Chain A
Amino acid sequence: MSQKGRPNTLALGYGRGKLEIRQFVRQRESVVFTLLFPLMLMAIFGSVFKDTIAPGVTFSQYFVAGMIASGMVNSGFQQLAIVIPMERDFGSLKRLRGTPMPVASYFIGKSILVLVSMIFQVALLLLGGVLFFGLHMPSDPQKWFTFAWLVLLGTASSTALGIAFSVVPKSGRGASAVVSPVVIILQFFSGVFFIFTQLPSWMQQVAAIFPLKWLCQGMRSVFLPEGFASHEVAHSWENGKTFLILTAWLVAGLIISIRTFKWSRE
């Protein structure tokens, strides 16, 4: 047999990413839902809470930060922790395991899917926010830089944690029942739907362990005026701390994924 040399891990991962996106796009309902859901939520919350939180800060402005942050949790953590157990049940993971495809290519493919759907989701949310809800976009390039690393790091750790968590649901069918409550509770605790400083302090402390709270806070540093930092719990945006905590979660997620990933049910 002619050895053409071993196919490249990155190239295979890129190819898998394209395949994953193609599969995702063909499920129209879920595409529409994933992309429009954050906008719908913003419309609902925006019409319920009309007050301004601080001078020049509308609830929509506050809320968009939380929506972008939880978008990362939804398209990474939630989606993967539900889809991977289903793929495991279908036997597709075991089939991949029986091929020479490197494990890393599978993970790279999933990451590409999450990142691409995240980018579309954020773009649509910002566009809708500006058009319908009077959202102010930051003009400072520094803020856009923060925004970029937050999206990348947040998506990466959310992806890694989703893959890590995929061993928890026993079956694909039960996966969403296990995963969704985790996400929803985390969203309430982390100040996605409410103003974080108005939550009871024990809730704030629980939330501070998990990445979502830090993602929300980081996104607020992008979308809210500089002066609003004094309204935060620590009276500061704490972006350095956010960076460290997200990185720690990313590393933990990667280690757990590599150690515990299951290719078949048993």
Chain B
Amino acid sequence: MPSSCSSIASPDVPISRSSCLGFRPLGWFLRGLISLFFPILRAQWQDWPMSIIEVRDLRKSYGTNFAVDGVDLTIEAGEIFALLGPNGAGKTTTVEILEGFRNRDSGDVSVLGIDPQVRGDSARDFRDRIGIVLQATSDAGDLKVSETVGYFSHYYAGAKDPDEVIEAVGLGEKKNELIRSLSGGQRRRLDVALGIIGNPELLFLDEPTTGFDPEARRAFWGLIRSLRDAGTTILLTTHYLDEAEALADRVAVINKGRIIEVSTPTALGGRATSQARVIWEFDGVMHEELTNEPTSVVSRLAREFDGEIPKLLVSRPTLEDIYLEMVGLTNGAES
């Protein structure tokens, strides 16, 4: 099992916009005060906690199909946030609205304090501050790695050094090769290089490791963690539950256009407190017991066997078990 990096996630307290508006003039006064002093406060504490992404009651439909049906989401600075959900759950639509590729029908969206729906010069400013790694692309096979990354760096006002970025994604030795000659995993690393060349405050990662071999995935995860550690906020969408578990500080499960739950990977769906399964062998037959107190079950067995318990296994539901159960429940409830 991969070491689950359960760094202490930012508490999931949605910043309520209406809570201080019970008494309106007071609300206005407070808002005025905050907006007056906020820039000063930010300058004082660079790491002033602010939400990188805030979504309230987001809706988007295609004809009669409600792809996104009232999504609320708050993503904090410096976290890796994974959005999980089956195909057609509204994942891609949500992310594409946040990236500015799609317009919403209704709801409030703020990404880095900007409405991603802006056009023109403001859109350029917005895209200057984000990085997007789309699902596998296969273009520009006739350019070299260094040419492509180098040229993308010109698009951004505050780009990183292309050579450093190429080195950071582990393509240093492939720098002067044609993109055509790269393997699938190396190409994906190039995609990430192009996503981070502009030194983004927020990085969107869409299915980053599809088609990777296990070793390449581990290495890739290391790269993503190092980006987070350098201060980049990351919104990850993935089909791989182990990937979400290994990388994400928090996960959200989306289905039928709604967020079902937001939690840490270890606590999602009551996972941390759910019953443990103890499995062992006796007389050539496998036995199992579901329990809230696995330790006492194991010590009881240890006494019974007077030593080593044959084929002992203690497990809690995997993130995948929990996820499938959650998605199954919501699907069942509506059909």
Which residues from chain A sit less than 8 Å from chain B, CB to CB? Answer: 1-7, 11-12, 15-16, 19, 22-23, 26-27, 87, 90-92, 94-95, 97-102, 264
User: Within 8 Å CB of B41, what residues of A?
Assistant: none
Interface size on B, residues (CB 8 A): 30
Q: Report A11 CB to chain B, min CB distance, Å.
A: 8
Q: Which stretch (B4-12, B129-137, B263-271) binds chain A? A: B129-137
Contact of A22 among B101, B136, B143 (CB under 8 A): B143
Question: Is B156 a contact partner of A99 (Cβ separation < 8 A)?
Answer: yes
Given contacts A23-B143, A90-B137, A91-B134, contact A99 B155 (CB under 8 A): yes
Q: Which stretch (B78-86, B120-128, B208-216, B297-305) binds chain A? A: B120-128
Question: Is A12 a contact partner of B138 (Cβ separation < 8 A)?
Answer: no
B219 within 8 A of A: no
Q: Report B118 CB to chain A, min CB distance, Å.
A: 12
Q: Which 4 A-B pairs have the closest CB atoms?
A: A92-B139, A91-B137, A98-B132, A90-B139
A5→B178 CA distance, assembly (Å): 31
Given contacts A5-B157, A92-B137, contact A99 B151 (CB under 8 A): no
Contact of A6 among B137, B140, B152, B157 (CB under 8 A): B157
Instruction: List the count of A-B residue pairs having beta carbons below 8 Å apart.
Output: 79
- Residues facing A in B77-107 (CB within 8 A) are 99-101
User: Within 8 Å CB of B139, what residues of A?
Assistant: 87, 90-92, 95
User: Within 8 Å CB of A2, what residues of B?
Assistant: 158
User: Within 8 Å CB of A15, what residues of B?
Assistant: 151, 154
Question: Is A98 a contact partner of B134 (Cβ separation < 8 A)?
Answer: yes
Question: Is B124 a contact partner of A6 (Cβ separation < 8 A)?
Answer: yes
Contacts A15-B154, A22-B143, A100-B125 aside, 17 further interface pairs with beta carbons under 8 A come to A2-B158, A4-B157, A6-B124, A7-B157, A12-B155, A19-B147, A23-B140, A90-B137, A92-B140, A95-B139, A98-B99, A98-B127, A98-B134, A99-B127, A99-B156, A100-B157, A100-B198
A97→B155 CA distance, assembly (Å): 11
Q: Report B233 CB to chain A, min CB distance, Å.
A: 14
B194 within 8 A of A: yes
Q: Report B187 CB to chain A, min CB distance, Å.
A: 11
Q: Report A211 CB to chain B, min CB distance, Å.
A: 30
Question: Is B157 a contact partner of A3 (Cβ separation < 8 A)?
Answer: yes
A102→B122 CA distance, assembly (Å): 12
Given contacts A1-B199, A87-B139, contact A95 B127 (CB under 8 A): no
> Can you report 5 residue pairs joining A to B where beta carbons are below 8 Å apart?
A19-B147, A23-B142, A90-B138, A98-B100, A98-B130
Q: Report B176 CB to chain A, min CB distance, Å.
A: 13
Q: Report A166 CB to chain B, min CB distance, Å.
A: 15
User: Within 8 Å CB of B151, what residues of A?
Assistant: 15-16, 19
| Chain A proximity mask over B157-168: 1 for CB below 8 Å, otherwise 0 | 110000000000
Best-surrounded residue of A95, A99, A102 (most CB of chain B within 10 A)? A99
Question: Is A264 a contact partner of B157 (Cβ separation < 8 A)?
Answer: no
Contact of A3 among B142, B143, B158 (CB under 8 A): B158
Question: Is A100 a contact partner of B156 (Cβ separation < 8 A)?
Answer: yes
Question: Is B155 a contact partner of A101 (Cβ separation < 8 A)?
Answer: yes
Q: Report A79 CB to chain B, min CB distance, Å.
A: 15
**Which residue in chain B gives the minimum CB-CB distance to A7?**
B154
User: Within 8 Å CB of B101, what residues of A?
Assistant: 94, 97-98, 264
User: Within 8 Å CB of A94, what residues of B?
Assistant: 101, 134, 137
Question: Is A95 a contact partner of B137 (Cβ separation < 8 A)?
Answer: yes
User: Within 8 Å CB of B125, what residues of A?
Assistant: 100
**Which residue in chain B gives the minimum CB-CB distance to A94?**
B134
Given contacts A98-B132, A264-B101, contact A27 B142 (CB under 8 A): yes
Given contacts A12-B154, A99-B198, contact A91 B142 (CB under 8 A): no
Question: Is A91 a contact partner of B136 (Cβ separation < 8 A)?
Answer: yes
Q: Report A219 CB to chain B, min CB distance, Å.
A: 32
User: Within 8 Å CB of A102, what residues of B?
Assistant: 124
A22→B151 CA distance, assembly (Å): 12
Q: Report A92 CB to chain B, min CB distance, Å.
A: 3
Contact of B158 among A4, A11, A101 (CB under 8 A): A4
User: Within 8 Å CB of B135, what residues of A?
Assistant: 91
A97→B132 CA distance, assembly (Å): 10
A195→B15 CA distance, assembly (Å): 75
Q: Report A90 CB to chain B, min CB distance, Å.
A: 4
A99→B132 CA distance, assembly (Å): 8
Question: Is B128 a contact partner of A100 (Cβ separation < 8 A)?
Answer: yes
Question: Is B199 a contact partner of A19 (Cβ separation < 8 A)?
Answer: no
A97→B99 CA distance, assembly (Å): 10
User: Within 8 Å CB of B130, what residues of A?
Assistant: 98
User: Within 8 Å CB of B178, what residues of A?
Assistant: 26
